[in-house]
Structure 1
Amino acid sequence: MPSNKQLRQVVVVGAGVAGTMAAQTLRAEGYDGELTLVGAERYAAYHRPALSKKLLTGEVYRAGIDMAPQNEFEVRALRGVSAVGLDMASRTVQLREGADERTMPFDGLVIASGADVRPWPGGSVPDGVMPLRTVDDCLAIRSKLGRRTRVVVVGGGFIGTEVAASLRSLGLTVTLVSREDALLQSALGEEMGSCWTDLHRRHGVDVHLGVAVESLVGDGHVKAVRLSDGLKLKADLVLFGLGVEPATGWLRGSGIPVDKGVVCDATGAVEGVPGVVAAGDVARWWHPLYQEHLRIEHWDQASRQGVTVARTLLAGPGNAEEYDAVPYFWSDQYDVKLQLVGVPTGHDNVEVVEGSVREGEFVAAYGKNGRTIAVLSTIPGRVNDYRGVIADAAAFPPRLNAKADSTTST
């Protein structure tokens, strides 16, 4: 097992925000050995949240979403190269670039391979049916947009709702289809998710809930979408956001523990595998506050985990610090900024503790077993005042001050 002094060859698999932050932190905190950053995409790290927002609408150019390096650091960056295997006995990563394969040795490994978009079920699709996960996806979608383009968005999660909002802001005809009874239901619950259902309908999106896509209509190019309730929706473009799966296929047979993501302790160290850490969408970390393993697909989380795993490698076994920060997430849709601290999964209660849902400015708290586990707000920055409440597992509902006590009914 390499200690911090023995660490001389570090390979970072994944050149997104988690991998890039890990590499930057290693250099910033004194690591002077070999450092290789392996990225399947041909681009340097970029801000993925912009893909469904400003890059999609054309408000920013392609270069405008690149992550600006916090500092210049020496790294061997391999672009357009995929990790296809891992051998822990020889401590090597198998890489593929086109038809060429090679192995790369390591004594420290950062697994930050991210997640892969779930494909359209049923195999091949007509032209004009597209996902949104990468820069190339976004640019391809933009190339197909015209003034009269009729777009059907399939999936009522954050990607689907953000894409719908962005395209609606361009004046396009947008239909949004979700299997659930409210938009964002899996993330926020039905009660709070209904707020965003109403928001999209107010902005002219044709929202269909509780239905699935039965078939795609079109010979060569999509012309319509047929729903499970028999309704047929005309479409020039179908964009789908059906979620993602952690990119762990290259780890098969390696001995790395995978259970809905790479299983890590609270420091980002892969459980039972010395000298290997994982961060970002691929990783499922133990969270001391929630007392369970969590895989969180948030930009902020990926960035912070990247920093943490670099420090874990440098600290060596038994010396790393646990990461127990309260998770944070945001989503911009129309003129509303959704901000969420904590993890509402499994909540058994939700209550508006400030403001009014009817007026569009509110704070809602999620409770579980009498404790506050998450807070959602449309008031910019207000969620920051509740971080301590969640970290301390305060009683539900939380009360910060007199303002919070004067709750207005929804």
Structure 2
Amino acid sequence: MREEGFTGSLTMIGDEPYEPYDRPPLSKQILLGRATADHTLLPRRRAIDAEWRLGVPATGLDMAARRVRLGDGDEVEYDRLLIATGVRARPWPKEDEAELDGVFVLRTRDDAYALERSLAQSPRRVLVIGAGFTGSEIASACRERGIAVTVAERAAAPLVGALGGVIGAVAAELHHENGVDLRCGVMVTGLEGDSTGRVRTAHFSDGNSVEADVVVVALGATRNTEWLAGSGLGAGPRGIACDAGCRAFDIRGIVTDDIYVAGDVARSPHPLFGYQFLSLEHWGNAVSQAETAAHNMMSESADRRPHIWVPAFWSSQFGVNIKSVGVPTMGTEIVIAQGALNERRFTGVYGYQGRVIGAVTFDQSKWLQFYQQQIETTAPFPPPFPTVDRRLEGQHPRDADFPDPSVPTHGPTVTLSGYAPDDRRLTFTPARH
């Protein structure tokens, strides 16, 4: 907003006591002991000249009076409000077991510091519950530190919810090859502590158990929207619904003009993906969406622009750099377009209804920009290009093998933003006055 020319008062409210910091290193460099948590502070792009209200959460919103209530009883007035409350780690559901010493989640700087300190004490075994990206990165850090680790995943393989079964099988091999005790198709039914209140044993749904000194719960995230209950804003467990210009909807489906949403907590329609409401827990999306929201908060309606950033994500685990672009979870088919699965160096391209919808690379990120262009131009699937590596496994598309989600990850298809779904490539130019 300062870059856009805003000179008024700016108040920053945050429930953590720290100024903005970088979260990706928490499950990578921090857990490896290569950096300390206080070295993750984000650099300032410019002087912000803001009043910082840190360590005090927002607890309520009065849309009519344009006020945000805080946990300390104070209230903050606004002319424009940006909600970027993000997500928090989903805790272990049994509260008495979650409070055992040695049971951790990983989301905040404090979480990372506490977990790294525990890993530095060389536990005999760590149990990671959940083999998504965060759980897999934690397991990778444990193995790199020489710590025995068991990973429990209810699905058939790691990463299947994000990348499907074809890629999940490769991820499982990475776990096994790096000495991870991977248990798939099972659930942890309970955690047992000793007389001192420290976790010692985990019990599985298949009747087996494992002894562990440290348990890390990596069961995904919960969007921070509870504080908006009763506010009249369109907020719920899947986030806060907003239009393509980041303006929040109220519970009647009417767009507001003074409340904006950005980052992990936002659910916004994307013109490249059938106007599905996408909830994205991506670093780059938060940055891009914040820039769009700031511009629109400062602009007249004719000068506002849509948020059309193409989703992108990266992870580093077991020495492999994994990157994705687009929305692989929408894909029904996958083709290995470059490289080979058994070499752990490949590019997988996802298709949906005859068009390229996403791509993932293992140590082959040079191809991502090319496939991002294919996504942006709604290129046909399977890719017809001579660049496709015609090895045996890459000749024909196969079922991407995503599990049936118990809870939908996207909202209904809508066209509220006014951009035609059949636009093959969207170009926006400044309005002339």
TM-score, scaled to structure 2: 0.86
Which of 39, 63, 67 lines up with 1:92 in the alignment?
A: 67
In structure 1, the partner of 2:54 is: 79
Which AA in structure 2 matches 1:394?
Answer: A
Between 201-210 and 259-268, the greater mean CA deviation after superposition: 259-268
Which of 311, 330, 347 lines up with 1:346 in the alignment?
A: 330
1:266: how far off? 0.8
1:127: how far off? 1.5
In structure 1, the partner of 2:30 is: 55
Correspondence 1:250 to 2:214: no
For 1:73 and 1:152, the matched residues in 2 are separated by: 42
Contact 1:356/1:408 (8 A) holds in 2: no
In structure 2, the partner of 1:173 is: 148
Correspondence 1:185 to 2:169: no
Q: Whose relative contact order is higher, 1 or 2, with alpha carbons under 8 Å and at least 6 apart? A: 1
In structure 2, the partner of 1:280 is: 263
Contact 1:399/1:405 (8 A) holds in 2: no
1:7-406 correspondence to structure 2 within 5 Å = 26-96=1-71, 100-125=72-97, 126-145=100-119, 146-219=121-194, 220-259=197-236, 260-271=238-249, 272-290=255-273, 291-378=275-362, 379-400=364-385, 402-406=386-390
For 1:302 and 1:194, the matched residues in 2 are separated by: 30
1:258: how far off? 1.8
For 1:65 and 1:303, the matched residues in 2 are separated by: 16
1:348: how far off? 1.3
Contact 1:351/1:397 (8 A) holds in 2: yes
Contact 2:14/2:55 (8 A) holds in 1: yes
Structure 1 unaligned blocks of 5 or more: 1-25
Contact 1:179/1:210 (8 A) holds in 2: yes
Structure 2 unaligned blocks of 5 or more: 250-254, 395-433
For 1:182 and 1:316, the matched residues in 2 are separated by: 49
Number of aligned pairs? 381
Which AA in structure 2 matches 1:249?
Answer: E
Which consecutive aligned stretches of 4+ in structure 1 deviate over 3 angstroms post-superposition? 316-319
Contact 1:355/1:408 (8 A) holds in 2: no
For 1:289 and 1:322, the matched residues in 2 are separated by: 12
TM-score, scaled to structure 1: 0.90
Contact 2:131/2:159 (8 A) holds in 1: yes
What is the Cα-based RMSD across aligned positions, in Å?
1.3
Cα deviations by residue, 1:131-155 (Å, 9 ceiling, x for unpaired): 1110101111122122343100000
% identity of equivalent residues:
38
For 1:346 and 1:373, the matched residues in 2 are separated by: 7
For 2:96 and 2:58, the matched residues in 1 are separated by: 26
Which AA in structure 1 matches 2:118?
Answer: K
Correspondence 1:409 to 2:393: yes
Contact 2:102/2:215 (8 A) holds in 1: yes
For 2:371 and 2:56, the matched residues in 1 are separated by: 42
Contact 1:353/1:399 (8 A) holds in 2: no
